[in-house]
Amino acid sequence: MTFELLAEEGGARRGRLRTAHGLIDTPAFMPVGTQATVKALTPQEVHDLGAQVLLANTYHLALRPGAERIKSLGGLHRFMGWDGAILTDSGGFQVFSLDHLVKVSDDGAIFRSHLDGSEQRFTPESVMAIQRDLGSDIAMVFDQPVSWPASDEMARAAMERTHRWAARCLAAEAAPGQLRFGIVQGGFDDGLRRASAEVLAQQPFDGFGIGGLSLGEPKSVTYRLLSLQTAVLPGDRPRYLMGVGTPGDLVEAIARGVDMFDCVLPTRIARNGSILTRGGRINLRNRRFIDDSGPADEGCDCYTCRRFSRAYLRHLFMAGEILGHRLASIHNLRVLVRLVTEIRETIGSGGLAKTITSLRGQWALAPLP
């Protein structure tokens, strides 16, 4: 077994996932390194934040610089200078986000590159071959997500195609030691979501991604559907909620049995001058911070908060200095890694409910049904 379940409390789980490049303590937040880099940060800085695993993207790396080139240069870990675990997303979300530029059939998807307009083709087999060349520790299957408000007919067709593609991905050759995760879909219908989890739970995947959520639907719908699927998915394998990762998302999803997360939000908002704090998200460009000598977030232990004031961070953003992007990214990623760690260390102690209640209060989060 690659996944060891160490403790459970309520719906939450604490575990340990073994990969070819080290252990991942779960629940875990994965910083996003879409193009083989966590934007603005070095691998050592990301490691120092407490991250054990990163996410990179098959779609982007296949288009530039190319999976074969990365393989010839020693694989993704050597190429990007990261010695921890790497999960590669299959690119399904990116391909289908192109919308009118995509032609989909049971064979796969034909689309136009966002870089140069060239015609590209992804099939379950080619996507797994790309991830094999990259040498990631965890490879995701090729899937077809749908966005809110998709009809039940559209959601069912995409779900059934995702199931057929999942079987083909399992049959494809994997890199040595590479784990493979299936992805449950089902749109926004309770019955479809439950059915997708039941079908994929019977397959010998090493873990399961929960895809197609937080794509425009109300949060109450997100967490209702999430609860449906975690109740069905096998307890002996990790569950990964894909592309979701605000502080509220982490607290609520961990309580519902999710083990892994990724999200571009912490680094994306950092580049726009926003930071995550216990008092809510704030925009450092606001004039009220011009003379603020306090840290980005009182009580945070990150490098940014230990060394610099809000006034200085505001100055960097107003002056267009790249250091502002770096320092805000360091802070935001540390906030999420630390939050997940705090919850993880509580699971199994008998104090989880108190911790969740406390975190909801600190982050001003209302419990969701």
Q: What is the residue extent of each domain of the chain? A: 3-263, 264-363
Integer Cα distance of 167 and 204 in angstroms: 10
Pair of tokens at residue 156: 């069912």
Look-up: residue for tokens 């993704």? 76
Residue 368, pLDDT > 80, answer no
Integer Cα distance of 300 and 287 in angstroms: 23
| Pairing, β 239-241 against β 12-19 | unpaired
* pLDDT tens digits along 333-367: 999 999 999 999 999 999 999 999 888 888 766 65
Is 25 a catalytic site residue? Answer: no
CB 295 within 8 A of CB 284: no
pLDDT (0 to 100) of residue 71? 98
Integer Cα distance of 92 and 155 in angstroms: 15
CATH architecture for the domain at 3-263: Alpha-Beta Barrel (3.20)
Per the model's pLDDT, the better-predicted residue between 278 and 190 turns out to be 190
Average pLDDT over residues 240-247: 95
CB atoms within 10 A of CB 207: 23
pLDDT (0 to 100) of residue 249? 92
Look-up: residue for tokens 């136009």? 112
Integer Cα distance of 332 and 237 in angstroms: 29
Residue 369, pLDDT > 60, answer no
* pLDDT tens digits along 78-107: 999 999 999 999 999 999 888 778 999 999
pLDDT (0 to 100) of residue 366? 60
Is 143 a catalytic site residue? Answer: no
Give me the catalytic one of 89, 133, 137, 206. Answer: 89
Residue 1, pLDDT > 70, answer no
Distance, CA of 34 to chain centre: 11
CB 78 within 8 A of CB 91: no
pLDDT (0 to 100) of residue 365? 66
Q: By percentage, how much of the chain surpasses pLDDT 70? A: 98
pLDDT (0 to 100) of residue 147? 93
257 half-sphere exposure, CB direction, 13 A CA radius: 22
Residue 142, pLDDT > 70, answer yes
Give phi and psi for 69, each to the nearest 5.
-65, -45
pLDDT (0 to 100) of residue 367? 58
* pLDDT tens digits along 263-319: 999 999 999 999 999 888 999 999 999 999 999 999 999 999 999 999 999 999 999
Q: Record the pTM.
A: 0.97
Average pLDDT over residues 195-207: 98
CB 30 within 8 A of CB 54: yes
Give me the catalytic one of 25, 137, 249, 262. Answer: 262
Q: Kindly give, in sequence order, each residue whose CB lies less than 8 Å from that of residue 71, ignoring residues fewer than 6 positions away.
A: 133, 134, 135
Residue 54, pLDDT > 80, answer yes
Q: Kindly give, in sequence order, each residue whose CB lies less than 8 Å from that of residue 209, ignoring residues fewer than 6 positions away.
A: 140, 143, 181, 182, 183, 184, 240, 241, 242
Pair of tokens at residue 203: 């397959």
